[in-house]
Structure 1
């Protein structure tokens, strides 16, 4: 029987590659994206690859938490049982932006929105798993669980991104402790060839540097983590468990981040 696998940020890159691979394996793939045009183009390739149930699509912008709540309600109405939630949506914001919900845009899009979505889908995920796309960019990150608003004066796009990726790792580890009925992991997909980053030089690097991981290679890792036997709460680099940086491995910080995130999203 086909598993139901929801992948956010699946209209390009790692998420799209994994969606195609999983659809080709006969799984019920549910693609979530933000941009209607890119989502439509992505769905055409996922449908072409599918060998099982018709792939499904939903649109949501994680810059608005109400859209996350609406997405969760629609998913639950259509799929009362979800086997895998791949929290893969995310990105980098060039300059300081405060969302309509009152939080710094990077921490909201990369952490608070998937934290909210996972909590809302928790019942449907019973016996399933959550896979968070993190990054080695979490190393040496400065994450303050008590400050999810930040400041324009001290903003750095890379620091904000690194902090959000540390949050992805902490969330997976804490979810494993609090929700033993759900397997939760995080992973570093590699430095993936994509449209990632802000600024011309960074975007050029991520599109053309010769040693980058292809989206297909990173998608293969996400596919493996979605279907293989994995270690609950672990952070993966490749197909091996790795120890994250000190801050991202601290259970006290993970617990505090959970509490402040829960308060933030209501």
Structure 2
């Protein structure tokens, strides 16, 4: 039985995917920022699916110390991990900067999954045919390293798009470094019917199920077992998308190297 960790799984497509995995009999690990909401989500999924193989961990992804604490707790309780879905994300926020002076979009959407994944690689390595699914977006914009370092202020849209390209560039880099794992970046679909989209844009184009269904498929389908280092664009096609080119910067080795080195420098402080 595969063990699957989904970040940001008390809402939206993360929660819907968790339901599908639980219904299919997988061991599901949820993550949420709010302890009460996380507990309620676990109870809801257990009641609806009859699954007992569900647990949860609390972490505020805008605080990297909290991410480290969550990883330490996971390592104590979870012997091996087969699938990691980095789904947690943020667009709008009443507090656009973290206590450390970084844009919250960069921290939650990029730095937190970077830290989480790096610290969990040893646990994933014990899993069976491990996969890492990183939630990208159709919104991708060239990354300002000064903005990443917190030296330049960006609009919510700019920061979101840059954080998602950073995540995608790192995904390609990680796929290159870890041939023992499948790493896929995915745009789950633009303007899905989720809370984050409603808060950001007020309307939607597609049902949220379109996003949760592709997360389920990418995580477990044999169809994608040799698809590491690729970008799945779920805006393509009708019912389901397909692999397509990501932003050109994902192929720029110099820019990727600068991004990763800057990221490591930030995290070393």
Same fold (TM over 0.5): yes
- Compared CA separation, residues 220 and 198, structure 1 to 2 (3 A): closer
SS in 1 for 2:114: helix
* Aligned counterpart, 2:253: 251
Cα separation, 2, equivalents of 1:148 and 1:244: 20
Cα separation, 1, equivalents of 2:260 and 2:164: 14
Check whether the contact 2:26–2:53 (CA below 8 A) recurs between aligned residues. Answer: no
Cα separation, 2, equivalents of 1:77 and 1:262: 25
Gaps spanning 5+ residues in structure 1: where? none
Shift of 1:129: 1.2
Cα separation, 1, equivalents of 2:95 and 2:154: 6
Tell whether 2:219 aligns with 1:219: no
* Aligned counterpart, 1:15: 14
The 5-angstrom pairing of residues 122-201 of structure 1 reads: 122-126=121-125, 127-138=129-140, 141-145=141-145, 147-151=147-151, 154-190=153-189, 191-197=191-197
- Compared CA separation, residues 28 and 68, structure 1 to 2 (3 A): same
SS in 1 for 2:122: coil
Paired residues, what number?
255
Deviation by residue 1:129-170 (Cα, 9 ceiling, x = unmatched): 1100110011xx131245413456x42110100001111211
Cα separation, 1, equivalents of 2:261 and 2:48: 41
What's the RMSD between the two structures over aligned residues?
2.0
Check whether the contact 1:23–1:50 (CA below 8 A) recurs between aligned residues. Answer: yes
- Compared CA separation, residues 235 and 24, structure 1 to 2 (3 A): same
TM-score by length of 2: 0.88
Cα separation, 2, equivalents of 1:5 and 1:158: 30
Check whether the contact 2:11–2:195 (CA below 8 A) recurs between aligned residues. Answer: no
TM-score by length of 1: 0.89
Cα separation, 2, equivalents of 1:55 and 1:102: 35
- Compared CA separation, residues 149 and 71, structure 1 to 2 (3 A): same
* Aligned counterpart, 2:238: none
Q: Which has the higher contact order (CA 8 A, sep 6+)?
A: 1
SS in 1 for 2:185: strand
* Aligned counterpart, 1:240: 242
Shift of 1:36: 2.6
- Compared CA separation, residues 180 and 89, structure 1 to 2 (3 A): same
Cα separation, 2, equivalents of 1:43 and 1:203: 29
The 5-angstrom pairing of residues 93-104 of structure 1 reads: 93-94=92-93, 97-104=96-103
Shift of 1:95: 6.5
Shift of 1:10: 0.3
Gaps spanning 5+ residues in structure 2: where? 235-240
The 5-angstrom pairing of residues 71-82 of structure 1 reads: 71-82=70-81
* Aligned counterpart, 1:44: 43
